[in-house]
Structure 1
């Protein structure tokens, strides 16, 4: 029997540890596989482009998976609430593993993109269902005790993904990256069957799936994410296409809102998602994720264009930002268990992170590589508390019956926020270069589309001038990220549910 949110003291410490470690091997491995996929494939993209050709379509491999996971997340959350989360986790693992196997044998870029779409339809529920399954058995306030284990999953996946992807690609070819995932999915499914036998079965009596809601949600997500991907190309035709796609997404949102108001079992229950603690926490999460992923996306360009680092050196310099958020998450988890206070730790962390991000902005061009990497690592620690605090707050506000839907809403807000934040930081960066005049903006487009190789033709004087322009542009981009963090802190402080009982 899952503990109720209003009875956190029902299990003593020893029993709580036993219950947690009964379910953690299965859900932890599911989280690890889903988190690893987000980074391990990125390392193989250059090799995929060389092997399959169609370099101009390489972004499809990333965007197709992102679209599918974003669409699938609320579907798994809603179906998990109705039919049981263990059952839906097994479905997700099967589809995810099948998609990965098809990726490994894809003969062309088009087939690979379709296989990634299928893989994303499976992977979309792995993280949210795993977190919800922990929520079934661990009372909200006590989840902080085990945050170290959850944070370790994401930290290890973030650190291992690029390294494993590079090693596998170099030693066995890019297909090995996808061949790693079906055995991982099968092992996770076996553990889920063995370890999650007491997971809540769900209550599907009278349930009617909201198919129109799913169609309209997909018609919003896909054009929106493709619009953001096109906008990052920073060319006039791409921007025009992005505006058209954005218009389609806006129309779909309006129709989706009307559909969800009248649906018997809505895909996105407005009465749940409209609860102030939930939508404000989700908006905080979206803004924070946008700043975090936006910085991660463009900092390697800074290290390459301004500091002259190789791709591998840039990767190592980025590690503190990518990994150290786990420390902030673990500290906040312990503070939650001791004090019962949740979002206050996210608010404090976000304010500190914003101040450090502003310091990074004003130090751009003067800070050494080690100092800048260390400062970005401290920013990451400040952002860390937001991850668990938003998750727990949203789950408690939604209640046990809508645990899956609420958990999936956090995943959706992070995915959409990451995409929007990356586009916004890129737009500020590009706009600052345009404002400076000269060829800096054109050279930046070359850097975005072709990497450091796109600047190989520059003379030493031209390269130095471009570096100076990039310093000013990155200062503006980092200040934009700091502003997003401050906005996230404001919404975090405005969440009504500040105590977790």
Structure 2
């Protein structure tokens, strides 16, 4: 297979792309589908397993495992070949989906999502790296329509399919669906991909110390956010202790990576201004995007009174339009060679749309809300292809795997942190509100509208007002994260390829 920076005739480039595309497309489709598919089932899972305060950890713990796994797959893919590691990732993903489908408790489900997340951490990063081996950076914009179609299809199908499956067959069917997808993706990978190990496994020493310390940094940091949202003395003390553990682990991790012969996180790569600023930007974007997807179903059921199937259709603009945003940005890249100007514009529009949603959370008509979600989705989508191209060009071909994994790592860490942070904003606003707003909210999600039957009209009106204020704070926080990401787009040194 010729390198991506070689001069390849257009017809040959097209042939190479479409040989590998079906295999990587299905792997990416499964990973993209998971986010919106499971989000649509969250209210039903909360009612079934009875722990609404921790139901967001079904998303968060998946993303924690995803975050930890991304650099592992990037490093091992460079050494042992990306096809081989893609098959390993699909194995973990399928095993986790099976365990999720039979989960008897939220604890079991959370543990199974960790296994599934460890597999999901390699699906997108390895697939994107496989494409980057074939397609030159600027030409990737011309093929973005096909990649965008994968994410658009998965994102559009996820909420509708998740709502339908949850309403008709129960939330377990959401996870059962993922098993045949993983099996088919594995078959395509075996039949259509070649293994392209760049280094010799004999000279490779995996950085186990770095992996342990990285895990000890990520998990306590996110658990600290979960505890801090409760705003009571004991959880705040626990949050402080966890933050201390995370800080010590980070310090030890940096020392470990400086002296490791084959570091899990190459600091010389991450220290490049283009790479770290782009990764920070994409972390903020995914924090706002995935965090919004995680809590919008709960907002739509508790505030708007929608059914699970109606929630799926209501989420469609947010999930479906991201692919079109990626398509438009990719076309702009192919024509002009400019990268981050497109997400700078798109994310500014997304931040404004989220700010309007925050201001009018209780009064916006559903059609207006749908338009605003579509605008936000287009803006978020404009950043997705650009960060990959920018980081890969800055890193160079010899560090392609680690560079691609750093983007996936930033996306996963940002999504996990953003989901936990937005959850902290929501529950924190309810905890500090007068009365027992947090307890009523938990009962409302678990029991539906019947939980408010015993409230007097004045009490019901007060609770609805407090609930609206909490969701306004959540959407406002998402808008702020997005606005900072838009500003960062203008501060990245590499603006053309």
* C-alpha spacing 1:335/1:280, structure 2 compared with 1 (3 Å): same
- Tell whether the 8 Å contact from 1:233 to 1:448 is kept in structure 2 after alignment: no
Determine the C-alpha separation between the residues in 2 that align with 1:371 and 1:57.
31
- Residue 375 (structure 2) pairs with residue 378 (structure 1): yes
Residue of structure 2 equivalent to 1:425? 422
Residue of structure 2 equivalent to 1:479? 476
Residues 2-41 of structure 1 mapped to structure 2, 5 A cutoff: 2-5=2-5, 7=6, 10-41=7-38
The Cα of 1:116 is off from its aligned counterpart by 3.3
Determine the C-alpha separation between the residues in 2 that align with 1:257 and 1:29.
36
Residue of structure 2 equivalent to 1:272? 269
Residues 111-260 of structure 1 mapped to structure 2, 5 A cutoff: 111-169=108-166, 174-197=171-194, 199-204=195-200, 206-232=203-229, 237-260=234-257
Residue of structure 2 equivalent to 1:290? 287
- Tell whether the 8 Å contact from 1:67 to 1:221 is kept in structure 2 after alignment: yes
- Tell whether the 8 Å contact from 1:63 to 1:229 is kept in structure 2 after alignment: no
- Tell whether the 8 Å contact from 2:40 to 2:308 is kept in structure 1 after alignment: no
Determine the C-alpha separation between the residues in 2 that align with 1:92 and 1:51.
29
* C-alpha spacing 1:465/1:347, structure 2 compared with 1 (3 Å): same
- Residue 400 (structure 2) pairs with residue 399 (structure 1): no
Determine the C-alpha separation between the residues in 2 that align with 1:147 and 1:397.
20
- Tell whether the 8 Å contact from 2:163 to 2:308 is kept in structure 1 after alignment: no
Match of 1:345 among 312, 321, 342: 342
CA deviations 1:379-425 (Å, max 9, x no partner) are 21122111111111111111122212111211221222122223333
* C-alpha spacing 1:147/1:232, structure 2 compared with 1 (3 Å): farther
| Structure 2 SS opposite 1:385 | helix
The Cα of 1:254 is off from its aligned counterpart by 0.9
The Cα of 1:46 is off from its aligned counterpart by 6.2
The Cα of 1:76 is off from its aligned counterpart by 0.3
Match of 1:326 among 323, 326, 338: 323
User: How many corresponding residue pairs?
Assistant: 496
* C-alpha spacing 1:292/1:255, structure 2 compared with 1 (3 Å): same
- Tell whether the 8 Å contact from 2:229 to 2:425 is kept in structure 1 after alignment: no
Determine the C-alpha separation between the residues in 2 that align with 1:281 and 1:148.
22
| Structure 2 SS opposite 1:137 | coil
**For structure 1, which segment, 445-454 or 463-472, has the greater mean C-alpha deviation from structure 2 after superposition?**
445-454
* C-alpha spacing 1:423/1:109, structure 2 compared with 1 (3 Å): closer
CA deviations 1:75-101 (Å, max 9, x no partner) are 001110111111111121223223333
5+ residue gaps, structure 2: none
CA deviations 1:6-31 (Å, max 9, x no partner) are x5xx1233222211111110000011
CA deviations 1:330-371 (Å, max 9, x no partner) are 100000001000011111111222223333333344421211
**For structure 1, which segment, 254-263 or 175-184, has the greater mean C-alpha deviation from structure 2 after superposition?**
175-184
Residue of structure 1 equivalent to 2:278? 281
* C-alpha spacing 1:405/1:192, structure 2 compared with 1 (3 Å): same
- Tell whether the 8 Å contact from 1:284 to 1:492 is kept in structure 2 after alignment: yes
* C-alpha spacing 1:452/1:402, structure 2 compared with 1 (3 Å): farther
Residue of structure 1 equivalent to 2:78? 81
- Tell whether the 8 Å contact from 1:233 to 1:449 is kept in structure 2 after alignment: no
CA deviations 1:238-279 (Å, max 9, x no partner) are 444333222211211111011001100000000011111110
The Cα of 1:138 is off from its aligned counterpart by 0.7
Residue of structure 2 equivalent to 1:313? 310
CA deviations 1:26-85 (Å, max 9, x no partner) are 000011112223333445556667777888876665444333222111100111011111
Determine the C-alpha separation between the residues in 1 that align with 2:475 and 2:50.
35
| Structure 1 SS opposite 2:133 | helix
The Cα of 1:429 is off from its aligned counterpart by 4.0
| Structure 1 SS opposite 2:199 | coil
CA deviations 1:203-227 (Å, max 9, x no partner) are 1352211010011011112222333
| Structure 2 SS opposite 1:307 | coil
Determine the C-alpha separation between the residues in 2 that align with 1:107 and 1:426.
24
Determine the C-alpha separation between the residues in 1 that align with 2:160 and 2:66.
23
- Tell whether the 8 Å contact from 1:44 to 1:174 is kept in structure 2 after alignment: yes
**For structure 1, which segment, 231-240 or 50-59, has the greater mean C-alpha deviation from structure 2 after superposition?**
50-59
CA deviations 1:299-333 (Å, max 9, x no partner) are 34443444343443333222212221211111000
- Tell whether the 8 Å contact from 1:234 to 1:445 is kept in structure 2 after alignment: no
| Structure 1 SS opposite 2:143 | helix
- Residue 391 (structure 2) pairs with residue 362 (structure 1): no
TM-score using structure 1 length: 0.89
5+ residue gaps, structure 1: none
Determine the C-alpha separation between the residues in 2 that align with 1:265 and 1:209.
6
